[in-house]
Amino acid sequence: MMGPSHAACGAAAWVALTGTYTVQLADVSLPVGLGVMPVGNAGVITGSLICAGAALLPDLDHPGGTVARSLPPLSGWIAKATSTLSGGHRRATHSLVGLVLVILLAVLSQRASVPVGDALRWHSFSWPGTGGEAGAVPDAAASLPGQVWPLAAVLSVLLIACAVKVLAFVPDRLAHANWVVGILLGAFVATHPPEDPRWFVVAVGLGCAVHMLGDLLTTQGIHLLWPLRIPLPLPSTFYRRNAFVRLPVLGNAGSAREIAVIVPVTLYALAGLCCAAISWAGLTVSV
């Protein structure tokens, strides 16, 4: 699959998982989202940014790809290292092992927090002449959140920048502007996180899984069982070179069949995001 297709599928998967909307068209009610994990209206929007970016993460094994140019020069260094460790494109990062490792990274990122605010009160001290009362330090600390997650923040910026780059919101000649866009949108996600505490791990894991499924449906396939190379009793249509699994219903990446599938998927994602934005703003629209 092409990069924009992966991003659209990631956003659509998040909308399907978390959306709780119904679009009324004349006498027909169309559900938008299954509501399996409700996260609030803001969470549908911010989570879709992360899930869309995560749906591009496996392609960091391709140093010459668009994702590798999303946050220059950092993303290029990461892509080169990932390609070397994974053995090339569509191998380790597109495997079950890679999916488990990415999910573990997301779990670690969510748990690796740094206490601020309330925690700083324990280390506050009295300024001379205040009669033993805490001064400016604890007052400033009181306005801070209880903890921050630096690893999750860095990963969020990378994921969002990947989506921004692939969707061509920022032209190549302004590639370094992706840092600004990624950080700003990352701050937006941080200030409006989905309501379910599991959201980050689920969004990252779901996005990567959607990417693997999309590439599985192309002629090249993916090294699903990496690092194993074992003969399986399957025809070459579905299993080639004792490694790559495929179900090539979409043909080559970027084919007309892929576009035919991605158009309604993209429209579904946009419908869910529009519903979330309208509901978040407290508006109602009837058609």
Q: Which of 61, 97, 99 is nearest to 206 (CA)?
A: 99
Q: Is the pLDDT of residue 157 over 70?
A: yes
**Region of poorest pLDDT, from 114-118, 156-160, 261-265:** 114-118
Of 162 and 119, which is predicted with more confidence? 162
**Which pLDDT belongs to residue 156?**
87
Judgement on whether residues 188 and 259 belong to the same structural domain of the protein: yes
Average pLDDT over residues 18-22: 92
Q: Does residue 285 sit within a domain?
A: no
What is the extent of the structural domain holding 260? 3-113+149-280
3-state DSSP assignment of residue 23 = strand
**Region of poorest pLDDT, from 166-170, 235-239, 260-264:** 166-170
Average pLDDT over residues 32-37: 93
Q: Is the pLDDT of residue 146 over 60?
A: no
Of 73 and 238, which is predicted with more confidence? 238
Q: Is the pLDDT of residue 5 over 70?
A: yes
Mean pLDDT estimate for the chain: 84
Average pLDDT over residues 131-155: 55
Give the CA count within 13 Å in the CB-facing half-sphere of 127.
7
Q: Does residue 287 sit within a domain?
A: no
58 burial via Cβ count (<10 Å: 0-12, 13-18, 19+): buried
Q: What share of the chain is helix, strand, coil (3-state, %, to 5)?
A: 55, 5, 35
Q: What is the pLDDT of residues 74-123, one digit of tens each?
A: 889 999 999 999 888 899 999 999 999 999 999 988 887 666 655 444 34
How many structural domains compose the chain?
2
Q: Is the pLDDT of residue 125 over 50?
A: no
Cα separation, 155 vs 188, in Å, equals 14
One-letter amino acid identity for 116? V
Average pLDDT over residues 45-69: 91
Judgement on whether residues 162 and 202 belong to the same structural domain of the protein: yes
Judgement on whether residues 44 and 170 belong to the same structural domain of the protein: yes
**Which pLDDT belongs to residue 13?**
97
**Which pLDDT belongs to residue 132?**
46
Judgement on whether residues 34 and 73 belong to the same structural domain of the protein: yes
Of 169 and 82, which is predicted with more confidence? 82
Judgement on whether residues 60 and 144 belong to the same structural domain of the protein: no
DSSP at 240: E
Judgement on whether residues 165 and 237 belong to the same structural domain of the protein: yes
**Which pLDDT belongs to residue 112?**
72
**Region of poorest pLDDT, from 134-148, 204-218, 269-283:** 134-148
**Which pLDDT belongs to residue 181?**
85
